[in-house]
Every structure is written in structure tokens, then in C-alpha cells.
Amino acid sequence: MAGKGRTSVRDPMRTKSRKFKTILITAAVLATSVVFASVVWASYTQTTTLNSYFATADSEFYFTSDLLLPDASPIPVYAITHDWQADSEATIRFDLLNYDNSLKISNRAIHYEVETDPAGGAVSGTIAADVPEGNKQTIELDFTNPDPQAPLEVTVTAAATSPYSKVLRGKFIISPAMTYSVNDNEGTPTAILTINLIQSETADTDVVIAWPEGAAPDMTNPIVKTAVNEDSMDLTNRSMTTTLHTAAVYELIFFKDAMDNYNGITVTK
Amino acid sequence: MNSSLKYIVVFLFVITLVGIGFSFSRFTTTVTNTGAENTLPPDIEFTVWALDSDAETVSLEGMTPGDSREIVIAVKNWKLEEGTPLISGYNQRVSLELETTGNLPLTFTLSENPAGDLVNMNRYGAVLYRSDNIEFVAQEPSTREYTLTVAWPGNMNAGKFKDEIDYIVLRLKAAQSQ
């Protein structure tokens, strides 16, 4: 009984010690494997800094105009007049500059493109950077007006395309230097000619008024009196040359021979 | 000894051994170039190879859209030491790494001279580029020359760029290969 009792009872301390030894050996084997594996993976690496750079953009870029403004600004509007009768083409003229002021001058050539709305007169070119005090190019754009009696509104866009992009804009309203009209006079004994002269660089301008058969001008009208005084009234050929002030509106009555609509009066400068 | 304390000791022992193993696993060094001739590499056998480039002489200042600048970089796995060629005893993989702030819309292309074959410059995120690996064989002296072209595309010409500054760092990364 005593022997049976000795074999069935385990010493708890001894069992724990065996367990610990087993864990210790396992851990040592594992760690050794890991260490060797790490050594197998070992390799050299090297990082060499070749250089560092400050890459800077060339900031000496100025693209301006005497009339156009950058698209970020309100678009400038210019009112000009043109005598479409004297010249069928009106010219818009402005400068494109490669500088902002005497200290801010572009150091590279600027390529630009100019477009207009309505289309017409598109140009492109280059402002060279070879003038130390700044360079400019004068742009001239020609337009015809399909309706010489009406103002022509032209929007001009000048865009630098190289080295940097920048857009300048301007609006030009080309008003005819002179307009005239005859009222609808059917059923009335008179026809009224209205002449509108836009402000221009001269205070006075000479105009020639011609009318067809069937009516006669009011001889008491100052326009006619001026023509008579200047000895430029030709009743035979129904025309007169008279001097009118610019920036003014004139009316001249024609007495008709009949009640039907009377037209065909012309006014030329 | 308390049994739980024993376990802790064993755990720390294992961790320490593993840590030692990994600490031996890589040798890393950073060398800053100070001239056309590279500084002497660290005194370890791996870095026998040397660098030679004109990276110092090229300026990236005053660029405009449409401009491009070229930087010639030579990489070799040997050098002359007191008249005797000293060749790297390791196979190496070398790549050109470029880091930029991305303030300017610059593009980077790498080509091998003289054939002009393009080497991929792989982009990682917005600011990091790394070339394909250039291989060097142990004990075989080799010199490879490349041209890095830094270009500003002409169509990226918005006026907002004209006052920008970019900072670019060029590195060569070499690793021992099997």
C-alpha cells in the first residue's frame, strides 16, 4: 500500500520546475533561430545626398497695355467715333508693353495673341526683351461696320502665351461721327430730317445735304441760311453744303409736293 | 523564485535576443556630397563604389515655363585608392531618389547616357520620385552615367507660378543585393 501511495502522489514543485525547463529550452531555440535568420537577411544600405536645389521661377514678367487692363479688373470701356462714310474701316490702336514701370521690365520675350469680338483683326506676335528700358508693340485692328448708322461694340482680348499667361481686356464702342434719319412722313405735308453729330476733335464740320425731287427745304432754317450765306446752296441740283457744330442735333423740315412718303435725302461729310 | 517572475525573465531574454538580431540586420549610412568628386564613403567594405556628378554645378534658378535643365549623374562601383582600383565586393541595387515640394509644375525624366534609354522615375505621392533600380555586380567595375532632365512644361504657364520657389533634394540610394 505504501509503495502504491508513493507512485501515485506527484511533487508539485518538481512538475513546475520541469515545465519551466521545457519553456526555457524552447525559448532559447526559438531565439537562436530568429537571430540566425536576421543575420541571413542582413545587408548594407547607403543613402547619399547628391545635392539640394532651390528651383525658382523667373518672376520678371510684366505684360501691360496703355488701354487694356488685366482680366481681374473691371473691363475698361472707351467711346470713339468714326466717320464710316469717309472711311469704311475704323481702326482701334493700343500698345502692348513688356514692362510695368521703369524698374519692372520683363527679361524674356513675350509671345501674345490678340483676338476681338466680333471677330476681325486678330494678330499675334512677340515683344522682344532686347530693350533695356522696356519694349512695346503698337497693335492696330481694323473693323468694318455692317450698319454705319449704329455704334459698333468691340471687345479686345490680348493674351500673353509665353513665358507666362496673362490676359488683358478692353471694350471699344465705335460710334458713327454722324447719323441722320428722315421720319415716316406718309400722309403729312412735311418730312423732317434729323442730323446727329457726335463729339469729335473739331468743333465744326461741313456736311452736304442732297434731296430728291418732290420737296423743298425750309429756307428759314439756320442750316439753310448758313448754306445760302456761304453761297453753297444749289436749288437746281437740290443740294447744299453747310457748316454744323459737332456734338449737336439738327432738324430740317422739307415741304413736300405730295402726301406720300418722301425719302431719299442724304447727308455726307 | 516566484514562477511568474521566471516567465517574465524568460520573456525579456527572448525579446533581448531578437532585438540584438534585428539591430545587426542593416547597416545604414548617409553621405552628403560636397563637391563634384564625392566625399570618401564610410570606411566599410560595401561603400567602395563612388559617385561623380555635376549635380553641384547645375542651377535651377530663374526657370520659366518651357525651360528645362539637365543634371548629369555618374554612378560607379569602384574607385581609385592610391592608384589602385578598389571595386565593391557586393552586388548592389542603386536608385535615384528625388524629393520636391511640388510648388512648381516640374517634370523629371532620367535617361542613361549615351544611348538615351529612359529609366522610369516612379512617383510616390505628390513629392517623391524614385527611379528603377540600377544593378551593379560585385567585383565588376562599372560606371553608369545618367542625365536627369528637370523640365517645366510650356503649357503650365499660369501667372501664379511666377513667384514660386521649389526645393528639390537628390539622393542616391544603394542597397546590397544577393
Q: Is A24 on the interface with B (CB under 8 A)?
A: yes
CATH number for the region B35-177 comes to 2.60.40
Domain boundary among A121, A147, A176: A176
Residue in B closest to A34 by C-alpha: B18
Q: Is A46 on the interface with B (CB under 8 A)?
A: yes
Q: Is B151 on the interface with A (CB under 8 A)?
A: no
* Single pTM value for the model: 0.67
Report d(CA A262, CA A253) in Å as an integer.
Answer: 12
Task: Say which residue, B118 or A48, is predicted with more confidence.
Answer: B118
Q: Is A35 on the interface with B (CB under 8 A)?
A: yes
Percentage of chain B lying above the pLDDT 90 cut: 34
Neighbours of A126 (CB within 10 A): 13
Q: Is B125 on the interface with A (CB under 8 A)?
A: no
Residue A46 lies in a domain: no
Do residues A90 and A168 share a domain?
Answer: yes
Report d(CA A105, CA A164) in Å as an integer.
Answer: 14
Looking up residue A113, the CATH number of its domain turns out to be 2.60.40.10
Shortest Cα–Cα distance, A56 to chain B (Å): 5
Average pLDDT over residues B110-115: 90
Most A CBs within 10 Å, among B162, B167, B176, to test the A interface: B162
Residue in A closest to B151 by C-alpha: A55
Confidence of residue A10 (pLDDT cuts 50, 70, 90): low
Model pLDDT, residue A55: 93
- Contact in structure between A167 and A71 (CB atoms under 8 Å): yes
Average pLDDT over residues B1-13: 74
Report d(CA B30, CA B171) in Å as an integer.
Answer: 10
> Among residues A182, A221, A208, which one has the least CA distance to residue A267?
A208
Do residues A192 and A139 share a domain?
Answer: no
Q: Is A40 on the interface with B (CB under 8 A)?
A: no
Do residues A101 and A143 share a domain?
Answer: yes
Residue in A closest to B5 by C-alpha: A20
Residue A53 lies in a domain: no
| Number of domains observed in the structure of chain A | 2
Residue A150 lies in a domain: yes
Grid coordinates given for A101: 514701370
Q: Is B55 on the interface with A (CB under 8 A)?
A: yes
Rounded to 10 deg, the angle between the A12-41 and B3-23 helix axes is 10
DSSP string for residues in A230-264: TT-EETTTTEEEEEEESSEEEEEEEEESSSS----
Q: Is B161 on the interface with A (CB under 8 A)?
A: yes
Grid coordinates given for A117: 469680338
Report d(CA A46, CA B46) in Å as an integer.
Answer: 9
Most A CBs within 10 Å, among B4, B18, B76, B95, to test the A interface: B18
Residue A101 lies in a domain: yes
Give the ipTM of the model, two decimals please.
0.71
Q: Is B60 on the interface with A (CB under 8 A)?
A: yes
Taking the alpha carbons at both ends of chain B, their separation in whole angstroms is: 47
Residue A24 lies in a domain: no
Average pLDDT over residues A261-269: 89
Contact (CB<8Å) B41/A46: yes
Do residues A151 and A110 share a domain?
Answer: yes
Confidence of residue A130 (pLDDT cuts 50, 70, 90): confident
Most B CBs within 10 Å, among A43, A54, A59, A106, to test the B interface: A43
What would the 3-class secondary structure string for A55-110 be? Answer: EEECCCCCCEECCCEECCCCCCEEEEEECCCCCCEEEEEEEEECECCCCCECCCCE
Asked if residue A132 has a cis previous peptide bond (ω within 30° of 0), the answer is no
Do residues A161 and A256 share a domain?
Answer: no
**Position A5 pLDDT exceeds 50:** no
Mean per-residue pLDDT over chain A, rounded: 87
A 213-242 near B (Cβ less than 8 A): none
Average pLDDT over residues A167-189: 92
Q: Is A15 on the interface with B (CB under 8 A)?
A: no
Do residues A89 and A140 share a domain?
Answer: yes
Do residues A183 and A171 share a domain?
Answer: no
Residue A15 lies in a domain: no
Residue in B closest to A39 by C-alpha: B25
Total residues belonging to chain A: 269
- Alpha-carbon dihedral A173, A174, A176, A177, rounded to 10 degrees: 100
Report d(CA A172, CA A11) in Å as an integer.
Answer: 112
Nearest to A43 among B26, B38, B97 (CB): B26
Domain residues for the domain of A71 are 64-176
Looking up residue A250, the CATH number of its domain turns out to be 2.60.40
Model pLDDT, residue B15: 76
- Contact in structure between A178 and A196 (CB atoms under 8 Å): yes
**Position B65 pLDDT exceeds 70:** yes
- Contact in structure between A32 and B17 (CB atoms under 8 Å): yes
Please give the single-letter amino acid code of residue A179: T
Grid coordinates given for B77: 562601383
Residue in A closest to B36 by C-alpha: A50
Domain boundary among A176, A195, A220: A176
Domain boundary among A176, A200, A215: A176
Do residues A217 and A140 share a domain?
Answer: no
Do residues A159 and A191 share a domain?
Answer: no
